[in-house]
């Protein structure tokens, strides 16, 4: 069912903080208002059945002009569920700086991106390449996200300051990501292929928004690793070193998946019982798609309120002729539908008040 | 077919049905043929057995006289990559009309087959016994236009294509019916990986130039 953008209502007040997480069950984007009609966008996703990036549709539905109001577009990592429509977002947000992991602007990744765009249908790099082209064409700045770097700092109309701080990826992840990219670069005579991100999550940009009396942790797709210099271990260490304010809201990392659960994150970077928002990941074997029932139970126990942007896509394949069904079954080929619908979780915090949540579309309270 | 294709087998990946040919074909040229006669052979991508003789059709390059083409190949030193490029890029648009304008040919007396559903896909993950893939439905009731994920046993991939199985590898999945002359119907699936188009050195070089230009101009903080 198409998302009813007309229902999202009015924009936030000038001094109101807003975090809106949207996700169609596969893909996610966060839109944030940090005061005085200034916004930033983290990642991009597409409303199912539409070509328009959901964050742009949302801002336009609020009556906000992305061309002037959006100051930063942050791409957390190169994964299809985070970069769909990203190029359109960067192009539409005409004065926004583009922020991305340091590895994105490395020569190795840039070479890979252009190599894989040879041929006409390579969705895998098209969006991220389009984003870089938009930055390049408009002469804007590309800001590399490294741990501890302030991506955005603005005075607020209340006399305070808002900061968006990057907490990852670590140097180790930077190296490993580029090694993997190097191994995937094509050579002459090899058949054209689709660019597929294999393990980009650990190289994603975790960020913390700090404004006056509150903070929001945007967990991207960061995962847990046993090594001290990788995954959440390195993020938590960075956060502790910087004496960061603990966040009262968390965009739960990696769709609530168990492999992203880190006690250090919950205990060191977040307030007790924060508000949690999950954007699910509707791909892969149906039983393992995060968040699973046990993922939700685990995260619910850690949060005061937990919201999910959309239920998982139906596992039922589309109706098709018996001949096709039998043919697939006889060959032991199993297919899974990727049909889905968009949901939006919106958290608004007026000055000196608590968070108020609203859900739209397919979103639900877990 | 194998005997003439032993030098190289560059295929031109087109969906021949778009050009009025009733099955999903790929075009196969050999080094010797491309250099001299410019003859193209048609090989079905949905069955292993179909050969051009069954359809009584031979395709020829029309855009360049054979002697000029041979000279061009000599100048390239028989470089496989460039030869493959030429095989792709020198096909005249007229060539594709042949399928439409060719006179009706006698149906083969062997088995006939009909595709009931077809997907285009690419590999997203390789496991020990199966591949995970993203599929986009091309034809078939309830199939066309649908985006799905699939788990495909490696045993469904023909031996000749096993070496092409790589993350990102593009393929077609077909569910077909085959009918024998005796009237027996058999259902089967086929997974055919694309060999061409391939990355060309000159395209890679152009991509690198573009990357350098962008990196030089990009303002990075």
What pLDDT is recorded for position B68? 46
Residues A324, B152: C-beta atoms closer than 8 Å: no
Q: What token pair was written down for B171?
A: 């393929």
Residues A118, B167: C-beta atoms closer than 8 Å: no
Nearest to B137 by CA among B148, B150, B127: B148
Residues B203, A194: C-beta atoms closer than 8 Å: no
Closest-CA residue of B relative to A337 is B148
What is the least distance, in Å, from the CA of B56 to any CA of chain A?
30
Chain A residues lying within 8 Å of B116, measured CB to CB: 321, 323-324, 327
Please state, rounded to an integer, the average pLDDT across all residues of chain A.
Answer: 91
What pLDDT is recorded for position A157? 79
Task: Kindly report, residue by residue over A122-141, the tens digit of the pLDDT.
Answer: 667 889 999 999 999 999 99
Chain B residues lying within 8 Å of A333, measured CB to CB: 150-153, 156, 173, 189
ipTM above 0.95, yes or no: no
What is the least distance, in Å, from the CA of A66 to any CA of chain B?
22
Chain A residues lying within 8 Å of B144, measured CB to CB: none
What is the least distance, in Å, from the CA of B82 to any CA of chain A?
9
What is the least distance, in Å, from the CA of A99 to any CA of chain B?
9
- Residue A330 to residue A324: CA distance in whole angstroms: 10
What is the least distance, in Å, from the CA of A310 to any CA of chain B?
18
Nearest to B43 by CA among B69, B5, B81, B7: B5
Chain B residues lying within 8 Å of A105, measured CB to CB: 215, 218, 220
Task: Kindly report, residue by residue over A163-194, the tens digit of the pLDDT.
Answer: 999 999 999 999 999 999 999 999 999 998 88
Given A132, A284, A320, which is nearest B141 (Cβ)?
A320
Residues A192, B170: C-beta atoms closer than 8 Å: yes
Q: Are A62 and A8 in contact (CB under 8 A)?
A: yes
Host H or E run for residue A273:
strand A270-278
Q: Are A122 and A116 in contact (CB under 8 A)?
A: yes
Chain A residues lying within 8 Å of B117, measured CB to CB: 320-321, 323-324, 327
| Residue A210 pLDDT > 50 | yes
Residues of chain B with pLDDT under 50: 1-66, 68-89
Task: Kindly report, residue by residue over B161-205, the tens digit of the pLDDT.
Answer: 998 999 999 999 999 888 888 888 887 888 999 888 899 999 999
Q: What token pair was written down for A327?
A: 């043919």
Host H or E run for residue B43:
strand B39-44
Compute the residue count for chain A.
366
- Residue A56 to residue A59: CA distance in whole angstroms: 5
């Amino acid at each position: 069912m198409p998302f009813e953008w007309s229902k999202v209502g009015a924009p936030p007040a000038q001094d109101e903080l807003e975090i809106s997480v949207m996700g169609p069950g596969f893909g996610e984007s966060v839109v944030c208002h940090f005061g005085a009609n200034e916004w930033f966008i983290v990642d991009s996703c597409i409303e199912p059945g539409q070509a328009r990036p959901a964050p742009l549709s949302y801002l336009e539905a609020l009556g906000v002009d992305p061309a002037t109001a959006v100051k930063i577009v942050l791409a957390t990592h190169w994964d299809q569920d985070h970069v769909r429509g990203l190029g359109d977002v960067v192009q539409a947000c005409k004065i926004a700086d583009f922020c991305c992991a340091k590895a994105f602007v490395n020569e190795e990744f840039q070479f890979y991106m252009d190599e894989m765009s040879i041929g006409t249908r390579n969705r895998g790099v098209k969006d991220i390449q389009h984003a870089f082209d938009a930055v390049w064409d408009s002469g804007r700045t590309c800001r590399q996200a490294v741990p501890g770097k302030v991506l955005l700092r603005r005075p607020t109309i209340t006399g305070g300051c808002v900061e968006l701080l990057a907490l990852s990826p670590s140097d180790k992840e930077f190296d490993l990501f580029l090694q993997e990219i190097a191994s995937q670069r094509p050579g002459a005579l090899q058949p054209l292929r689709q660019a597929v991100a294999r393990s980009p999550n650990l190289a994603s940009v975790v960020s913390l928004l700090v404004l006056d009396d509150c903070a929001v942790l945007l967990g991207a797709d960061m995962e847990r690793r046993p090594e001290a210099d990788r995954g959440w271990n390195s993020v938590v260490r960075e956060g502790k070193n910087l004496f960061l304010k603990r966040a009262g809201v968390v965009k739960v990392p990696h769709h609530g998946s168990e492999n992203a659960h880190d006690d250090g994150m919950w205990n060191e970077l977040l307030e007790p019982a924060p508000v949690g928002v999950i954007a699910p990941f509707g791909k892969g074997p149906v039983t393992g798609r995060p968040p699973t029932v046990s993922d939700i139970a685990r995260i619910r126990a850690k949060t005061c309120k937990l919201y999910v942007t959309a239920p998982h896509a139906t596992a039922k394949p589309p109706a098709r002729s018996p001949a096709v069904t039998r043919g697939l079954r006889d060959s032991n080929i199993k297919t899974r539908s990727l049909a889905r619908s968009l949901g939006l979780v919106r958290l608004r915090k007026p000055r000196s008040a608590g968070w108020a949540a609203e859900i739209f579309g397919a979103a639900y309270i877990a | 077919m194998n005997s003439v294709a032993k030098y190289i087998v560059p295929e031109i990946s087109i969906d021949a049905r778009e050009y009025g040919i009733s099955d999903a074909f790929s075009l196969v040229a050999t080094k010797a043929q491309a250099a001299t006669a410019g003859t193209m052979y048609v090989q079905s991508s949905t069955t292993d057995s179909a050969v051009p003789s069954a359809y009584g059709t031979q395709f020829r390059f029309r855009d360049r006289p054979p002697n000029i083409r041979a000279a061009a190949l000599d100048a390239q030193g028989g470089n496989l990559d460039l030869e493959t490029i030429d095989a792709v890029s020198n096909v005249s648009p007229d060539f594709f009309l042949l399928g439409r304008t060719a006179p009706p040919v006698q149906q083969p007396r062997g088995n006939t087959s009909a595709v009931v559903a077809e997907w285009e896909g690419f590999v997203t993950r390789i496991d020990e016994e199966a591949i995970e893939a993203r599929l986009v439905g091309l034809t078939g009731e309830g199939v066309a236009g649908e985006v799905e994920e699939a788990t495909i046993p490696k045993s469904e991939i023909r031996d000749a294509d096993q070496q092409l199985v790589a993350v990102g590898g593009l393929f077609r999945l077909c569910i077909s019916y085959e009918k024998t002359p005796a009237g027996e119907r058999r259902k089967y699936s086929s997974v055919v990986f694309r060999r061409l188009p391939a990355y060309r050195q000159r395209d890679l070089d152009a991509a690198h130039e573009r990357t350098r230009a962008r990196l030089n101009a990009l303002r990075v903080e």
